[in-house]
Amino acid sequence: MRPHIREKKDFSFSEVPENTSFEAGYLVTVNSGWRSIRPEVNSEKCIGCEQCYLYCPDGVIAIRDGKAVIDYDFCKGCGICAKICRIGAIGMEAERK
């Protein structure tokens, strides 16, 4: 399972582990607040070539039913996907609050 957000985000004295190891893939914060622009996929144009999926540094793009979809909790708005798309199916738009 990919690293994902957990319910419990704070650890009291007795909950802090005895050693410096903990459960893999335990996340407590998202990265969405980093964005000033966000990618928008035009699903009609998207041909599912998977270039954006391969080149996303954060791994937030997946292919569902042959189309690129984005996890906006963890997308940082770098714009690589929009640049890499050969057919212009991804555009960068201003982040809406």
Partner 1 sequence: MANKTAESISREEYFYGHKACAGCGGSLAVRAALKVLGQNAVSVLPAGCMSAVGFNFPQLCFSNNSIISTFAGTASMLTGVEAGLRAKGYKDFTAVGFAGDGGTADIGIQALSGAIDRNDNIIYICYDNEAYMNTGIQKSGLTPFGAKTTTTPAGDNIHGNIRPKKNMFEIAAAHGIPYAATASIGYISDFIEKVQKASQIQGTKYIHVIAPCPTGWGIAPDETVEIAREVVDCGLWYLAEYENGEFRLNRRPKEFTSVEDYLKKQGRFRHLDDEDIKVITDSRDKKWEFIEKNFKL
Partner 2 sequence: MSRKFLSGNEAFAEGIRLARPEVISAYPITPQTIVVERLSEMVEDGSLKAEYVHVESEHSALSCAIGASAAGARAFTATSSQGLLYMAECLYYAAGGRFPIVMMNADRSTALPWNIYGDQRDSLSQLDSGWIQAYAENAQEALDLALMSYRIAEDKRVSTPYMANLDGFVLTHTYETVEIPERSQADKFLPPYETDNRIDFDNPKNMAFSAGPDTNYIFKYKAHKGLLAAAEVIKETENDFAEIFGRKYTGLTENYLTDDADYIIVTLGSIAGLCRETADKLREQGVKAGVVRIRYMRPFPNDEIAEALKNARAYAVLEKDVSFGNEGTVFTNVNSALKKSGAEVKGYDFIGGLGGRNISAGDIEGIYRSIAEGTDIVNFIGIGGGENG
Q: Which residue from 26, 1, 4, 30 is spatially nearest to 15, judged by alpha carbons?
A: 26
Dist. CA 8–CA 12, nearest whole Å: 11
* Nearer Cβ to partner 1 (14/20): 20
13 contact choice in partner 2, partner 1, none (CB below 5 to 8 Å, kind-dependent): partner 2
Least distance in angstroms from the C-beta of 22 to partner 1: 6
Q: Report the amino acid identity of residue 87.
A: I
Dist. CA 10–CA 15, nearest whole Å: 9
Among 32, 43, 72, 78, binds partner 1 (CB under 8 A): 78
Binding site for partner 1 (CB under 8 A): 1-5, 9, 11, 20, 22-31, 34, 47-51, 53-59, 62-63, 66, 74, 76-80, 82-84, 92
